[in-house]
Amino acid sequence: MSIAVAVAGAAGRMGRTVVKAVHGDPELALVGAVDVACLGQDAGDLAGVGATGVALTSDLGSTLRAGNAAVLVDFTRAAVAFENAKTALSFGVSPVIGTTGMTPAQVEEVRALAARQGVGAFMAPNFAIGAVLMMLFARQAARYMPEVEIIEFHGEQKVDAPSGTAMRTLDFILAGRAARTAVRPEREEFKLEGARGGDQDGVKVHSVRLPGYVAHQECLFGGLGQTLTLRHDSTDRISFMPGVVLACKQVRSLDGLVVGLEHLLEL
């Protein structure tokens, strides 16, 4: 029996890619599409897969009820995704959230609601399997090379900075990091404020926002007479789809909210 999936933000670039992925998987069934744009248009036509019989609507609750959805995939914006997650959980629908930028308090509210409802929920800053491997490798590297900086690159329309992937990588690095070794000046002199990026516990994080990028990140480690670079590049949004499809298939079996694709992979 197919898993009934609705997509929030279905008219956007990520949303259309999700619609295509859901439509193309025999274990999933597209039953709803929600957006504020392209209302009434067929979600499949917008995604380039042909008519699916699922028209875009603006009412999430009605869409979830009408399609008897089990899962809601959300790639919108933080404030919208937060409200959508609460709505989905109130209907007993499992949210799969790829939107980043929620506050810690919002994440905890989603966690608490999922626990009260007894419904599985899933959230990940990055659904690309290669990006998850990069995070795990960075945690390992930080045990031996504690001097590290992160540079992340996204398209010009991305609102939050640093990216969710960078912040998740930062958590991994700090969790595995050995004592710092480099001797640094007591005071750095900046000719341009912010030139050294953001700083958390001595890890500098730099965000680039330019046309032409999708999602890219480098972790630069420095040591005595050597450097190590870990880099992941998503050159197409399709790179996220295996992770999204995996989450759709597993989220109903989760105990409350789970954060991070690594928890769904056999690593």
Range of 217's domain? 129-234
Angle between helices 104-117 and 78-90 (to 10 degrees): 10
For residue 29, the one-letter residue type is A
pLDDT tens across 92-121, in order?
Answer: 999 999 998 899 999 999 999 999 999 999
Domain count, the chain: 2
Which residues are catalytically annotated? 154, 158
Q: What is the pTM of this model?
A: 0.87
**Same domain, yes or no, for 145 and 213?**
yes
Residue 166 and residue 205 in contact, taking contact as beta carbons nearer than 8 Å: yes
**Same domain, yes or no, for 90 and 170?**
no
CB atoms within 10 A of CB 207: 17
**Same domain, yes or no, for 119 and 241?**
yes
**Same domain, yes or no, for 108 and 49?**
yes
**Same domain, yes or no, for 58 and 73?**
yes
Average pLDDT of 171-176? Answer: 94
List the single range of 82-91, 160-169, 183-192, 210-219 with lowest mean pLDDT: 183-192
d(CA 111, CA 4) in angstroms, rounded, equals 22
**Same domain, yes or no, for 189 and 218?**
yes
Dmax of the chain from CA atoms? 64
Q: What is the CATH number of the domain that holds 108?
A: 3.40.50.720
**Same domain, yes or no, for 119 and 243?**
yes
Closest CA to 44 of 25, 22, 27, 63: 22
**Same domain, yes or no, for 107 and 158?**
no
Residue 133 and residue 152 in contact, taking contact as beta carbons nearer than 8 Å: no
pLDDT tens across 118-172, in order?
Answer: 999 999 999 999 999 999 999 999 999 999 999 999 999 998 899 999 999 999 9
Task: Encode burial over 11-33: b for 16+ CB neighbours within 10 A, e otherwise.
Answer: bbebbbbbbbbbbebeebbbbbb
d(CA 97, CA 149) in angstroms, rounded, equals 27
CB atoms within 10 A of CB 103: 11
3-state secondary structure of 65: helix
The H-or-E segment that residue 168 falls in is: helix 164-176
CB atoms within 10 A of CB 57: 18
